[in-house]
Homo-oligomer: A and B are copies of this chain.
Amino acid sequence: MTLTPGGDTVTWRPDGLTVPTDASTLLADGLAGAPGGPEAVAALVASAAEALTRARDERDGPLPARTPHQVAEAVRAALGPLASTPGGDPRAPGPAERVLTRLTHALAVNAADPAHPRCAAHLHCPPLAVAVAADAVASVLNQSMDSWDQAPAATAMETQVIGELAGLAGYDPEIAGGVVTSGGTESNLTALLLARDHALAGPERDPVRHGVARAAAGARPRVLCGAAAHFSVQRSAALLGLGEDAVVTVDVDSHHRMRPRALREALDTLRADGDLPVAIVATAGTTDLGGIDSLGAIAHIAREYGVWLHVDAAYGGGLLFSRRLRGLLAGLDRAHSVSLDLHKLGWQPVAAGVLLTRERALFAPLSRSVDYLNPTDDEEAGYPSLLGYSLRTTRRADVFKIAVTLRVLGTDGLGRLVDACRDLTLRTAARVTAHPRLRLATTPSLTTVVFRYDAGADSDEVNARLRRRLLEEGRAVVGRTRIDGRVWLKLTLLNPDTTVDDTAALLAEVVTAGDTEVSALKESR
């Protein structure tokens, strides 16, 4: 490579380029942030909205009446082959709008639509329109939270919103810490990292610098959680180098709540074995039954044994917004850390996870000074940095949609949506109980209804098959799980617009599909 000082002539040896590339002709549709860019984005979104509406009408149900193979074929056809030239599919080359609407249509026709009342399988909420629009603003500005000079306002906004959420959780906003994450799994992982390094920190026992093996010489680090806690606890333990079998699962009751007495016994056993408990993970809202651990009792035990208490409230954290229901989270404020997911009971598009700590200082193991991001003299000059709160480096300003939603609805507004889902759940559970061929697993703790079509000895197979039948026929997206070795179906009710007539229709679909599967099974014998 040769640089010719003082002039514009540049020679790039490998291919002998001498003429600067003109990119402007390519950017006819432009950069989102350039003059005219936001308007171009708005026009494109308006076209996409038409495609979305057209696709929803065509789909005419919660998901396409297609097999996975047929969906893949449809998507492949819409994408066309990857070409070097613009337009993708050579049969339909064209500008941005044409490609966007074609692919939007393909995505939406073949989507499982969380806004449809018969899509009720997972912790997969229908997002609020205003949160989606705010998310688009975040995309236009593309602020990145890893340094102040990539996100001046967003840095300030995240700091304030984290303080507000900490206050809602019962922490002192002045000293609490926190960060917006990609979801409960990242929040739980981060919390367990902080707990691990907190427990193992010491002059010769520092897992950040010297690793778990050296820090833990002798005592084996262990993590305790209820037997129905989220699988990300085991996954995090593996990631953190502790091993999945470092996780001790504690006995739960029929609502999947950890038994405090069993927790105490488990801690005594670890102590007797010379192991080192680094964290207790309590759950506020298990994925299946919505079980909420007795946080007060567990916090008491955690303090007594001197162990970090993390609360995974990814699901149940939304109760903080509800005046009626927030009492179920009593004791949360005594945890060292808590995971919330506003893309569950908060109606945000993914991602809107949050990790809070009672004290900001608990994030110390993640603190880091990077010459090009947060040099010491810049920090001393008053330039704040959120780099030391996150496992990520580049990080989208997901806080913006959260901030907008909190202002549009207020905490009570969100609370009323939570209450609506909760009421719907209880009314739906009552319908299950009333039906002769449906069986309710247990009274709902949160917003899931776990039940099954009762087909006697064949129930497991019939329920698994009827669920796939509903998917394949595009009639309903119903969840399934396994409890005590049996297959159960599950409705996760996160749509505040859904009525009990809607869920009754959904249950009727389940019964019809169950009847069909029972007949098919008899015929095949």
- Whether A147 contacts B125 by the Cβ 8 Å rule is no
B112 x A127 contact (CB < 8 A): no
Let me know if B482 and A375 touch, CB within 8 A: yes
Flag if A63 contacts B31 (CB, 8 Å): no
A144 touches B126 (CB 8 A): no
With A20-B423, A207-B238 as given contacts, are A132 and B140 in contact (CB-CB < 8 Å)?
Answer: yes
A419 within 8 A of B: yes
Contacts of A42 in B (CB 8 A): 42, 45-46, 48-49
- Once bound together, how far apart are the Cα atoms of A115 and B31, in whole Å? 7
Chain B residue, CB-CB nearest to A95 = B408
- Counting CB contacts under 8 A, is A456 at the interface? no
Establish whether residues A141 and B497, one from each chain, have CB atoms under 8 Å apart when the complex forms: no
Q: List 11 A-B contacts (CB under 8 A).
A: A31-B129, A33-B52, A46-B46, A66-B152, A86-B407, A107-B143, A112-B149, A114-B142, A185-B393, A185-B394, A211-B243
With A3-B443, A150-B122, A490-B372 given, is the CB distance from A426 to B183 under 8 Å?
no
Q: Which single residue of chain B is at the shortest CB-CB distance from A383?
A: B68
Interface centre among A26, A41, A99, A206 (most CB of B within 10 A): A41
Top 10 nearest A-B pairs (CB, nearest first) are: A241-B241, A211-B243, A33-B115, A88-B407, A110-B153, A44-B133, A38-B49, A212-B241, A23-B420, A139-B349
Chain B positions within 8 Å of A72 at CB level = 156, 159-160
Taking a contact as CB atoms closer than 8 A, the residue among B30, B135, B196, B328 that contacts A139 in the complex is: B135
User: Is the pair B3, A429 in contact by a Cβ cutoff of 8 Å?
Assistant: yes
Residues of B within 8 A of A66 (CB): 152
Structural contact, A416 and B23, CB atoms closer than 8 A: yes
Q: Which residues of B contact A397 (CB under 8 A)?
A: 107
Q: Is A304 part of the contact surface with B, judged by Cβ < 8 Å?
A: no
Question: Contacts A400-B107, A443-B3, A468-B381: A10 and B426 contacting too (C-beta < 8 A)?
Answer: yes
Q: Is A396 an interface residue (CB 8 A)?
A: yes
Whether the pair A427, B10 counts as a contact (CB closer than 8 A) is yes
Pick the residue among B80, B121, B132, B468 that contacts A136 (CB under 8 A).
B132
Nearest residue (CB) in B for A20 is B423
Question: How close is A88's CB to chain B, nearest CB, in angstroms?
Answer: 3
Task: Output the nearest chain B residue to A321 by Cβ-Cβ distance.
Answer: B84
Stretch at the interface among A11-19, A259-267, A295-303, A510-518: A11-19
